[in-house]
Structure 1
Amino acid sequence: MAASSVVSAGRRSLIAVCQLSVQHDLNDNFRRSAQLIERAANNRGCKMVFLPECFDFIGRNKEEQIDQAIEADGQYITQFRELAKRYGLWLALGGFHNKQADGLPLNTYLLIDSSGQTRASYDKLHLFDLDLPGKVRLMESEFSRKGKKLHLPVDTPIGRLGMGICYDLRFAELSLFNRLRGAQILSFPSSFTVTTGLAHWEALLRARAIETQCYIVAPAQTGKHNDKRSSYGHSMVVDPWGAIIAQCSEREDLCFAELDLDYVDEIRRNQPVFEHRRSDLYSLYFNEKREINDSDLFPFGHLKIDGSQCFYKSAHCYAFVNLMPLLPGHVLISPLKEGLKRLTDLDDQTTADLFILTKKVEKMVCQIYQTNCATVCVQDGEHAGQTVEHVHVHIIPRKKGDFGGGDPDQIYSKLQNHDAKLDKEKRSPKEMAEEAIFYRKWFEENLEV
């Protein structure tokens, strides 16, 4: 299959969902997984196999959970890459203990294509900390660290797939994010406890399917892993109407389901709930950080901003360095959409994104330029000093006497007049690109800002 011939021509795809009962022995657990993958491969037409969370192992204590962690490019995962190539299948490896050099492992979900290459990687965002005296104690934060960013849905041979892991299922915002970004299928590889599984597993999966109008694919762990931990099982696939179309019971097993993207379209067409949302009264904000290509060109009124001069890109806005900074660290933020001349042209999502990104960038420049003060302003219209007809926020770190003393408000007259000096003071593209790289690195090292 060609790498990005993503959705099958008939828009119907067969998948296999694996239910495992792993213990602490990684080699034995791989043997179990490999047997199920082989069974799936022998079913003609199967395009993708889903494995549950902790397919690598479940430790007997928190020390084992940490010490046995593996690397994404190590030998253990390489065995799964070889299986993907051998059988010509995509593998959804639903969550392994991803070893980190600087602390606790991540719980990472890998998507491997039929050539054995990683197509996507997702780190579990919500950690399950549960302490019910006399029933169960599972504190995931004692042996795992949380992921730090949202990931867009991924094009696969079965459709556009949104990724989550286990406890992420309880947070509807993540599912809504994936739906709003184009997902047709959501997957939640899991290892639900027996207590929470009995009460909530099916209800949560069906709720996510109904509210997002997506297929839900939920491979699960089952049975007793050690004296301290057991899982509920009942791996299942739910269709976008909320009907369970495939399910395992409580033993190690495999179930198959056919996903029909035409049915997804039909459900959404017949009940267009996302068109009926009242965005004038409520909205969801998603804190996204998107990739930047240096070859990109970003709209800025009658101008274009080169991608190499951009240092942060969110869902709706971008931050870039200044051709003529009034002071060191003077940077700008603008919406990505063309034709937005005034603040009143922005929808609520873009407005929220613009000002949240402004806060992030202000924090960055103040830290880098060692100050706790900044001028943050928008020249909204011609008579307010706007010379480029595209909404943009100026962020300028300030220090005492930074214009040689006097009134600090003189910055506004300088802002209004600084474009007249364009030919004299403009910087080279090389200098601007170097500054952008410096700021990008800061954000890479400060992901939680």
Structure 2
Amino acid sequence: MKTVIIGGIAGGLSAASQIKREDPGAQVIILEKSGDVSYAACGMPYNLFYKDKPVEELYALDLDTIRKERGIDYRQNHEVIRIDPVQKEVAVVDLINAREYRESYDYLVYATGNKPIRLSLPGFEDNDVFYFKTLDDTRLVKKIIYEKAPTNALLVGSGYTNLELADVLYNMKIPPVILEKSATILPSFAEEIRAKVLEKIEEKGITLHTNVDIMEKNGTVVSTRAGDFDANMVVVSIGVKPNTELFSAAGGELGVAGAVKVDRFLRTNLPDIFAAGDCAEHYVRQLGRNGYMPLGPAANKQGRLVGSNIVNSKAMKMFYGIDQTAVFKFFDLTVATTGLSERQLGEIGANYVKIHVDTPTRGAFPGGGIMRVLLLLEKGTGLILGGQMIGQDVVAKRLDVIATAIYKQMTVFELAELDLSYSPLYSPVWDPLLIAANKAAKEA
């Protein structure tokens, strides 16, 4: 059995590793366009802090381990330019040696990830504009920071990436200015959570402009409807889109947000072609349908399942799905979400209740902080539909408890009875989750 995988970052390498794990004799070829191997993209902003720490330290595995220990034929700088689903082969360009060749397959895994949405405006193809999506982007930003010593930075977009970058650049003494086209930031978060992020932006003296329409960039000056901004460095992070042109050109069907349409087994409409990761749809359990939320954990889970389903083609398993759990850091705050958002609940016409509480994260012990817990629950039944948190100290792991509760379809009445650990070093005697659950139980 021969499997060709297009893309070798998260989903692609996970698929390859699982195939070799279950069938050591299988032939697995990864064709990766870049010169890198699978890496932890979420660590890129924090690598900027360290002048001499190579970005290659973000690699999940080194090339020798992939090739020798896992037995995977991993080919860097090999770009697939065409898929022929009838002949079951791909056309490949070896970018280093400038030669084109064809590679046949029994199974094909499409794992090309996504790419940044670019600003098609004058000046935004300049060398001092970065989209901060790949390790090459990180290399270039580090080069600018440590060789040109910028005195300020303009961040276009206010999503997770640029908020994390704002934190990093601020602490590197490079004052950031954020421009956001929408009326507010973090639209998937409730106002009660968003307000705390805005408070932190104001506390740090970071300039944020919303409702901004950008017109052009001329040299170091970015012209907008809100005025002109002079910047030594510009980072654009206004969203991503699935990298699907190659698949679509081969007759592949696209779905939500232009991602590769997949069934629950992660098969596409093309014979013996699977898709995984940031280029593919993701089944959202609570909605009972596919959505698109490109994050590393889902990409790795999908890749592993694709690998297993290729080996076990007569006994394939379904992708269980995601609960839309995500977290990011913003200065001393952790901001996290799981389950459905208010916007999604409104779209499906749910009858829901929202509560939030502010509470200390620890008992009578130095340190800790304050956190805000927000719960969304079904009116009448108390079924937990979503949860969001923001605060200092241990936030992410508490959010994981809510993610688990949603996975098991628990109610706030059940959440209130959980036997959570207590020590003043880690929690008040009533954990913030229990306080929130008890308040929610009264509103259900």
After TM superposition, the score normalised by the length of structure 2 is 0.22
**Larger radius of gyration, structure 1 or 2?**
1
After TM superposition, the score normalised by the length of structure 1 is 0.22
